[in-house]
Chain A
Amino acid sequence: MSERPGSERPRSESTGLRLRFFLFFALIGIGGALAVIGAMVLLARQGEALRLDHFVLFGGAAAAVVLGLATWVWLKFDERVARPLLAVANHLRAAAHARAERAMPAGTARDLGPLGPAVGELTAAMAEARREVDRTIAEATARTEEQRQQLATILRDLQQGVVICNLEHQVLLYNQRALEILHVAGDIGLGRSFFGVVTAQPFRHALVRLANRFSSGRHTDHPDGLACLVIGATKLGNYTLKGRVSLTVGRDPAGPEGERAERPVGYVVIFEDVTDELAAGIWRDRMLHDVTSDMRQRIANLGMIGDLLTLGEPIDADELAAAREAFLADGRILAERLDRLDEISSDLLSSAWPMTQVHSKTLLDLIVDRRSEGRNLAVETGGDLVWLHCDSASVVDLVDRLLNRTAVHAGITTFSLAVTRNERRAYLDLAWVGAPVPVRELEAWLEERLDEGLGAITGRDVLNRHKTDLWCEPAGDGGARLRLPLTTVAIDTNRSRGAVRLESRPEFYDFDLFGRSVPADLGEAPLRALTFVVFDTETTGLEPSGGDKIVQLAGVRIVNGRLLRGEVFNSLVHPGRPIPSVAAKVHGITDAMVATADPIGAVLPRFHRFVGDAVLVAHNAAFDMKFLTLEQDATGVVFTNPVLDTVLLGAAVFGAEESLTLDTLAERFDIRIASEERHTALGDALATGHTLLKLLDLLEAAGVRTLKQAFEASEQQAAIRRAQGKY
């Protein structure tokens, strides 16, 4: 293919070829006519027998016949050769660059002789070769994909948030937990700045420290290597984050082979929400301060009263009563303070121990399953269903130990196990028919070490960590029970604090963004490096200026040439007016479906955040943009993003005379959208997104590589369509 300026080629090629054929035939016709006239003139000079008017008559007629013949042959040639040639060229181009390897429509190259079958064989051979390559690639990437899936699963199940960024702080990867901790509802987005969701300063500070550590080489023997602790905050809600920032180091791809120096390429942040922990710590510090502040004074008071009473000096009854009163009051206050201290220290102890919410039934089932030592004990469970706050592993081990010891001690094989609750706490009761276990025996059991898996802890340690105790008491007729009080808890199932839960999808990955940076001048940026939001609207009608409104708005993100199905915006919109049945038939959205939907004033700001600074793309973008801009005054949301139109880009590739409906383009590119998704905003946005990706391939081959060039190509097509009155 020739290397002519790309943006001009599609137009000049489609009209130029036919023009050249036309000029060729025009030359034959005019030349033939001139030759006939010339011959006549020569004949006239040599013989007088012929009359001049006959010359003119026959000469003119001959010239007209030649001209007419040439015109007729040209018309046939244009119809049967020039146009089919262009169709074949478009077909080949689509096959070559957009991988649309369908057979040519029948009859396209009927008059081109063996060219038609040859083109068919070529595309078939190319398709086979590509399938072979695809198979090889698919096999080679299958394992990578599997590992990627495993990584995705691990990341999804992590309790910490994980975000990976490049040095421009663009997010390359995040897990579900990160969204929850950062309290964002899917806005974080691949390719967007991490500093859009967290306060930048602590992270910048950590990165500068790490960069210094790296450049000075100190990281090789630093205990933390290339990582350091960071305390930051979310931008939404100002939650406190505690995490580790680790610098990622890679080889500089720009350096000469063999001498590529290592350099930082990005960083990984692993973090958790410590807002509650921090608040608890602050509260504890304040309590400790309050409690201990005047203890010394109270003790001094007691000492002085003691001295006074033991002086042996006479003291009257009133003074004695006052001293006694003060003595009792100070003693009482000191005791209260000590109780508070005891509580705070217990809190400290138990907060260091991992407590979780466990359902009573689960806990009892776990104890029954645990039955160690193979004694074949029959354990019947029951009681109240209640959520308990405890470390189930150590409680299960403790109760299992008590079960076995009691069985041996009392010679019993049948027990019942139940959780009962009162207004203050729950009790785990292990009951049997027989005598209670003596205190001394029970205390000895509690001093034994439990399972080694728990570390060297005793039953008493488990009780202390749970701020509880245990006893054995007579129960019912000749029965006894071991009673273990436990804390109950009201479960908060909404752990994500209102953030919307997204489906975890592997598209959250895009390691190709490493090493990418967005050039300052967006226009010069390669199309492939841009972030696009491809969107579509469904409306109450086709007249935005006539009061028609949006009923559905959907968008998909394309980052680094990949359409991310995991990052989708899709919202019904209450149009504030009835949906005409003719419109409802097209998109299937009825008044009932939008009855509870948000109005555009609520949806558009969300969409604006979703779009960020991406390039907006739509099929027939002017139509959709008109709806958006008409809402500008009412919502205050202004879109200043660059806009591309897949209709104009399609025309730049295939020529303005081709059919450029979304259906045609999708069919041409072999893009399949489920029929139930077609004519929904999301389905059409997806179809447009895939079409854009195919068009980008073709545009690139035609030399349209930057956003500026794409705008120029679009502008030319818009001018043609304006001239044709189509737009």
Chain B
Amino acid sequence: MAANTILVVDDEPGIRLYLKRLLGTDGFTVQTAADGDEALASIEAAPPDLVLLDVMVGGRDGYEICEAIKRDPEKRAIKVCMLSAKSRAIEIEKGMAMGADAYLTKPFSMDELRATVRDLLGRGKGEP
């Protein structure tokens, strides 16, 4: 079984590096994008299994990218997990209403991230 592909969309280079290293270590194929346009181009070129999407990403609104994925019948199956420094209940609700499959507020721990990713990709613990 081929390794799942994860696209990390965040304008913070530190976060991109961290997630790439962490998830790479866990056996995922990790792509990164620094802004919305890059992200959409990447999805178009090679649709990933999961997008880790920062809400406040440069170029385009994270909600807009989520909308582009979830309202396109061909891409709808791609899982989306929103990452945000916004932690108010209404923002989380808005993210879920826009079609996100999960919402993680920053800061989150390695364990929380791993659990969420596994959950979304339907993989058991310890299995890459």
Instruction: Report which A residues bind B (CB closer than 8 A).
Output: 328, 331-332, 335, 339, 342, 424, 436, 438-440, 443, 467-469, 471, 473-474, 483, 485
Contact A439 B64 (CB under 8 A): yes
Query: Which residues of chain B are within 8 angstroms of A331 by Cβ–Cβ distance?
Result: 107
Contact A335 B107 (CB under 8 A): yes
Contact B97 A483 (CB under 8 A): yes
Contact B97 A485 (CB under 8 A): no
Contact B89 A424 (CB under 8 A): yes
CA distance A220 to B69 in the complex (A): 69
CA distance A473 to B98 in the complex (A): 6
Contact A471 B63 (CB under 8 A): yes
Do A443 and B61 form a contact, CB below 8 Å, given A335-B107, A471-B97? Answer: yes
Do A485 and B93 form a contact, CB below 8 Å, given A335-B106, A335-B107, A339-B87? Answer: yes
CA distance A259 to B87 in the complex (A): 72
CA distance A483 to B94 in the complex (A): 9
CB distance from B84 to the nearest CB of A (A): 12
Closest to B70 in A: A474
Q: Decide if B25 is an interface residue (CB 8 Å cutoff).
A: no
CB distance from B123 to the nearest CB of A (A): 24
CA distance A469 to B84 in the complex (A): 15
Given contacts A328-B109, A438-B67, A483-B97, list 16 more A-B pairs with CB under 8 A.
Answer: A331-B107, A332-B107, A335-B87, A424-B89, A436-B71, A439-B64, A439-B67, A443-B61, A443-B64, A467-B88, A467-B90, A469-B94, A471-B97, A471-B98, A473-B97, A485-B90
Contact A439 B61 (CB under 8 A): yes
Contact digits for B36-62, partner A, Cβ 8 Å, 1 yes 0 no: 000000000000000000000000110
Pick from A332, A439, A485: contact of B63, CB under 8 Å = A439
Contact digits for B87-123, partner A, Cβ 8 Å, 1 yes 0 no: 1111101100110000001110100000000000000
Closest to B99 in A: A473
CB distance from A353 to the nearest CB of B (A): 17
Query: Which residues of chain A are within 8 angstroms of B94 by Cβ–Cβ distance?
Result: 469, 471
Closest to A346 in B: B88
Contact A468 B90 (CB under 8 A): yes
Query: Which residues of chain B are within 8 angstroms of A474 by Cβ–Cβ distance?
Result: 71
Instruction: Report which B residues bind A (CB closer than 8 A).
Output: 60-61, 63-64, 67, 71, 87-91, 93-94, 97-98, 105-107, 109
Query: Which residues of chain A are within 8 angstroms of B67 by Cβ–Cβ distance?
Result: 438-439
CA distance A443 to B90 in the complex (A): 16
CA distance A440 to B63 in the complex (A): 9
> Would you list the 8 A-B pairs with minimal beta carbon distance, nearest first?
A439-B64, A331-B107, A473-B97, A471-B94, A439-B63, A439-B67, A469-B90, A469-B94
CB distance from B55 to the nearest CB of A (A): 11
Do A438 and B64 form a contact, CB below 8 Å, given A471-B97, A483-B97? Answer: yes
Query: Which residues of chain B are within 8 angstroms of A439 by Cβ–Cβ distance?
Result: 61, 63-64, 67, 98
Query: Which residues of chain B are within 8 angstroms of A469 by Cβ–Cβ distance?
Result: 90-91, 94
Query: Which residues of chain A are within 8 angstroms of B64 by Cβ–Cβ distance?
Result: 438-440, 443
Closest to A463 in B: B90
27 A-B pairs, CB-CB below 8 angstroms? A332-B107, A335-B87, A335-B105, A342-B88, A424-B89, A436-B71, A438-B64, A438-B67, A439-B61, A439-B63, A439-B67, A439-B98, A440-B60, A440-B61, A443-B61, A443-B64, A467-B88, A469-B90, A469-B91, A469-B94, A471-B63, A471-B94, A471-B97, A473-B98, A474-B71, A485-B90, A485-B93
Query: Which residues of chain B are within 8 angstroms of A436 by Cβ–Cβ distance?
Result: 71
Query: Which residues of chain A are within 8 angstroms of B91 by Cβ–Cβ distance?
Result: 469
CA distance A483 to B60 in the complex (A): 21
CB distance from A387 to the nearest CB of B (A): 19
CA distance A473 to B107 in the complex (A): 28
CA distance A342 to B60 in the complex (A): 24
Query: Which residues of chain B are within 8 angstroms of A467 by Cβ–Cβ distance?
Result: 88, 90
CB distance from B93 to the nearest CB of A (A): 7
Closest to A466 in B: B90
CA distance A335 to B105 in the complex (A): 10
CA distance A440 to B67 in the complex (A): 10
CB distance from B20 to the nearest CB of A (A): 19
Closest to B89 in A: A424
Query: Which residues of chain B are within 8 angstroms of A328 by Cβ–Cβ distance?
Result: 109
Query: Which residues of chain A are within 8 angstroms of B105 by Cβ–Cβ distance?
Result: 335
CA distance A335 to B112 in the complex (A): 15
Query: Which residues of chain B are within 8 angstroms of A342 by Cβ–Cβ distance?
Result: 87-88
Query: Which residues of chain A are within 8 angstroms of B90 by Cβ–Cβ distance?
Result: 467-469, 485
CA distance A438 to B68 in the complex (A): 9
Closest to A425 in B: B90
CA distance A473 to B71 in the complex (A): 10
CB distance from B92 to the nearest CB of A (A): 10
CA distance A439 to B98 in the complex (A): 9
CB distance from B76 to the nearest CB of A (A): 12
CA distance A356 to B20 in the complex (A): 49
CA distance A339 to B86 in the complex (A): 9
Query: Which residues of chain A are within 8 angstroms of B88 by Cβ–Cβ distance?
Result: 342, 467
Query: Which residues of chain B are within 8 angstroms of A335 by Cβ–Cβ distance?
Result: 87, 105-107
